[in-house]
Amino acid sequence: MKMASSAPSSSLLLLLLLLIVLLAAAATASSPNRNGYVHLRFYNHERILGSGPNATVVYSVHRTSSSSVSGFGNVYVYDNLLRAGVETDSPIIGRNQGMGVGSSMAENSGLTNFQLVFTAGEYNGSSLALQGLFPVAPLGTLFERAITGGTGKFRLARGYLLTSEVHATNTTLTGQLDAYISFR
């Protein structure tokens, strides 16, 4: 009797252990995690508006002279580098090309519409389409924008992008980008 009742519980324990090991393995894998999302991390390297001839962000409409990039009615265009790391010499993996609009009368946020175009690695030639608000907020503030589609290996992609600016100088701004992509 004792043997019969303890056998199922020890095999249950073994099954649980196996499940934990499998879940741990799934969590560290780079392609689809257990929620069905592919997680990619990279860094946006921007030379800020007004930082001189090599700025990667420029005004296309400068309606208000507000010093904020979210000046109401302003429109700007950017072409930033995507690198694998925060370091300015880490490998280039693509470009972040798009536009921003000062869409908030309070000038505390802007609307961005952009494309992440990959030029190296597993996703070379593919791109993600995104849109969403960015807040005017202190360095390190986490904000979210929507992944609305993609091309190449990202066809029919949906998901979300988490961004936080992690490093700033008087001419540069570097953001950590975490993309969570689903194909369901």
Residues that bind ligand NAG (CB under 6 A): 52-54, 119-120, 124-125, 170
37 or 118: CB nearest ligand NAG = 118
**Minimum CB separation from ligand NAG for residue 117, in Å?**
11
Contacts by 157-162, CB closer than 8 A, 24 or more apart: 157/128, 157/181, 157/182, 157/183, 158/182, 158/183, 158/184, 159/37, 161/128, 161/130, 161/132
65 or 170: CB nearest ligand NAG = 170
**Minimum CB separation from ligand NAG for residue 50, in Å?**
9
**Minimum CB separation from ligand NAG for residue 121, in Å?**
7
Cβ atoms of 184 and 65 within 8 Å: the answer is no
H or E element that contains 99: strand 92-101
36 or 125: CB nearest ligand NAG = 125
